[in-house]
Structure 1
Amino acid sequence: MGHEEIAARILTTCMGLKHGERLVVVTDAGKVSMGNLFFRAGLALGADAVLVVMSERTADGQEPPAAVAAAMAAADVVIAPTTRSLTHTAARRRATDAGARVATMPGITEDMLYRGAITADYEVVRRRTEQVARILDGGRAVRLISGEKYELFLDITGRRAIASTGVYRDPGSAGNLPSGEAYLAPVEGSANGDLFVDGSVAGLGLLQDPLLLHIENGRLVSAEGPDAERLLKLLDQSPQGRMVAELGIGTNDAARLTGTVLEDEKIYGTVHIAFGSNASFGGSIEAGLHIDAVVLRPQLYVDGVLLVGDGRVYV
């Protein structure tokens, strides 16, 4: 199957694109070839397709230009193969509020169209992800163990979990492609403890050596490891950049560790903690960036009950 055929399958199967619908493909200078792929596929499917190319953003979660945001809000379907993530932006939120179905694909590569998370049985992923989201929805206290001995405690009381299933056919639905995660915004200021990050970090890629992050009252106060300075510099682009924004659980058993967080955070049995913005999914932080950090072999308890451990999700 060729690239364009795969893109067409994604548009029809995952997005439910119909003949005559308004499709906006948002891309940037670093991902123009991927943008063109989905644009051509949309045209072949009979969509009223528009390709929008913007300058590359400097961080995940940075807002696109106003003209791009306006185009997104006027679309039936938005697909965004970009270098940096538009998932947790006000532009994405306005588009879904207007009824658009939105799929963000930050860092997507041609290889990821053929292998890994995109090849999963998405019906299985959907069921598993929704089960995890229901558990998080009813939870209050989270205890996350990473690096076998480091503990991070978070309050999730009253926070609604989002099941990112990879299928966005309903008006106002949105998420990543490929996908497979359940996530929420922990109560701001509630996170305390240490986090051992041994997978990848958005903006840094695959970690050659782990990072140890120290968190107090919902804020990253210090970091240890060879990439610590790079991480802090990335987060310090915004006064709110060090705030704990997200707790997520990977549910896709076909996802691989690639160094691209788009796929890495979906790996079955992993957990990710993000810093920065969370206003687009139930929080109150507007940082202009959103940086995910992936933990490969965690244990995670919700109200004392094991939910993630030994590379498994217990649902």
Structure 2
Amino acid sequence: MVNFPLSPHEATDLLPLFREELRLCAVRPGDTVVVFTDARSNPHYAAAALGAAVDLGAEASELSLPYLGVRPQPQGPPARLRQVPERVVAFLRTATLVVDLSTAFRLFLYSRALRELLRSGVRVLRVAASEELLARLFPTVEVRALTEASQRALQKGVELRLTSAGGTDIRMEKGGRDVTTQYGYTDTPGRWDSWPSGFLYTAPIEESAEGRLVLSPGDLLVHLGRYVTEPVVCSIKAGRIVEVEGGADAMLLRERLASWGEELAYRISHIGWGTDRRAKWIAMANRPPADSGAEARSIYGNVQIAFGANYGIGGKNDVEAHEDLVMRHCTFWIDGRPVLEDERLVEAHLG
């Protein structure tokens, strides 16, 4: 469910915020901006984005679809329509910038449609957070600089290792795969970003991950909207979770992974860390995960590890399932050197 004020004046209040965001996205006179929506998108965001684009001299239009995110099934839960229709992709490809406010295609980041748009040079900005979060975590020079310095360090890495006082010890190979950055705006052709955000990640060689992942009290099961209350121990072999041990939190994670009905749901997707000092660990206690997930991933010095889909970020897991886990008090090693220790980046080891 998408919540938004009923007042028709809300878009007027949002216009300055969206104008500054699109300015960061290098929108200029003569550009073409397409606002991509569906029946459940926030209409005030759409109006503000259109107004901001016009204010900056761009040609602006909105492409709105019915809510096509689910289809009835003879048995079981409704199935999601995973791919954006080709006719829609063809229209979006005409844009300089796509402002993605859609709700139906929740894995657009991992879709072939997005890869096609980015290869065409289209910039894509995802906007799904609350107004409060858009303003409080508005992109800054510091977040971008720290994210890009972290990217340079991770890009050069070959062997990655994650440890924690709680018992985590996982090793994996990065290979030559690229690092994806998010700092809240897109100002170069072919770049995707989400406003707000401040983190980076890479898809390791899937079969290379081996070891034990221990979620400690206070760590986050992002898509379950839950803080871990007792240790959860995940055994990982050949890149796949083979066992989840613990109490109620472990049971919920097991059920969540099994609910996808796909083996690739258990395989490692990506790993990285957060770079925004303004993001708060208590965010998920105050808001639902649909709104607080971006903040949870952005928390400075966290470590995030995910399982499932990674097709669009350099991996090969072409699947709908995706599970983000966000952890505190970890050490992240790149080729034997710690770049992050107990929620603090070791800047001497960054790029």
TM-score range, shorter chain: 0.7 to 0.9
Matched, 1:27 2:37: yes
Counterpart residue number, 1:305: 337
CA, structure 1 residues 87+131, in 2 after alignment: closer, same or farther (shift >3 Å)? same
Code of the aligned partner of 2:96: D
Which string of whole-angstrom CA distances, capped at 9 and with x for unpartnered residues, describes residues 277-315 of structure 1?
A: 222122122112333211122111112211111221112
Q: Secondary structure at the match of 2:272?
A: strand
More helix by share: 2
Candidates 217, 221, 245, aligned match of 2:242: 221
Counterpart residue number, 1:241: 265
Which string of whole-angstrom CA distances, capped at 9 and with x for unpartnered residues, describes residues 146-196 of structure 1?
A: 453221211113222223233411111112221222211101111122223
Counterpart residue number, 2:7: none
Give 5+ residue unaligned stretches, structure 1: none
Matched length: 310
Contact 2:39 2:64 in 1 (8 A): no
Which structure's relative contact order is higher, taking Cα pairs within 8 Å and 6+ residues apart?
A: 1
Q: Which moved more, 1:248-257 or 1:210-219?
A: 210-219
Counterpart residue number, 1:42: 53
CA, structure 1 residues 155+168, in 2 after alignment: closer, same or farther (shift >3 Å)? same
| CA–CA separation in structure 2 for the residues paired with 1:231 and 1:85 | 20
Counterpart residue number, 1:288: 320
CA, structure 1 residues 277+8, in 2 after alignment: closer, same or farther (shift >3 Å)? same
Counterpart residue number, 1:179: 197
Matched, 1:112 2:129: no
Counterpart residue number, 1:97: 119
Q: CA RMSD in A?
A: 2.7
Contact 2:198 2:298 in 1 (8 A): yes
Contact 2:167 2:213 in 1 (8 A): no
Contact 1:61 1:277 in 2 (8 A): no
Q: Which moved more, 1:97-106 or 1:204-213?
A: 204-213
Q: Secondary structure at the match of 2:151?
A: helix
Which string of whole-angstrom CA distances, capped at 9 and with x for unpartnered residues, describes residues 247-272 of structure 1?
A: 11111112223232222111110111
CA, structure 1 residues 142+280, in 2 after alignment: closer, same or farther (shift >3 Å)? same
Contact 1:39 1:51 in 2 (8 A): no
Give 5+ residue unaligned stretches, structure 2: 1-11, 71-78, 285-291
| CA–CA separation in structure 2 for the residues paired with 1:168 and 1:282 | 19
Counterpart residue number, 2:287: none
| CA–CA separation in structure 1 for the residues paired with 2:119 and 2:303 | 28
Displacement after TM superposition at 1:95 (Å): 0.9
Matched, 1:195 2:207: no
Contact 1:100 1:173 in 2 (8 A): yes
Displacement after TM superposition at 1:209 (Å): 2.6
| CA–CA separation in structure 1 for the residues paired with 2:314 and 2:81 | 15
Contact 1:61 1:86 in 2 (8 A): no
Larger radius of gyration: 2
Contact 2:21 2:185 in 1 (8 A): no
Q: Secondary structure at the match of 1:264?
A: helix
When the two structures are superposed, what TM-score results if normalisation uses the length of structure 2?
Answer: 0.79
Which string of whole-angstrom CA distances, capped at 9 and with x for unpartnered residues, describes residues 189-209 of structure 1?
A: 111222234433343124253
Question: What is the identity percentage for the equivalent residue pairs of Structure 1 and Structure 2?
Answer: 28
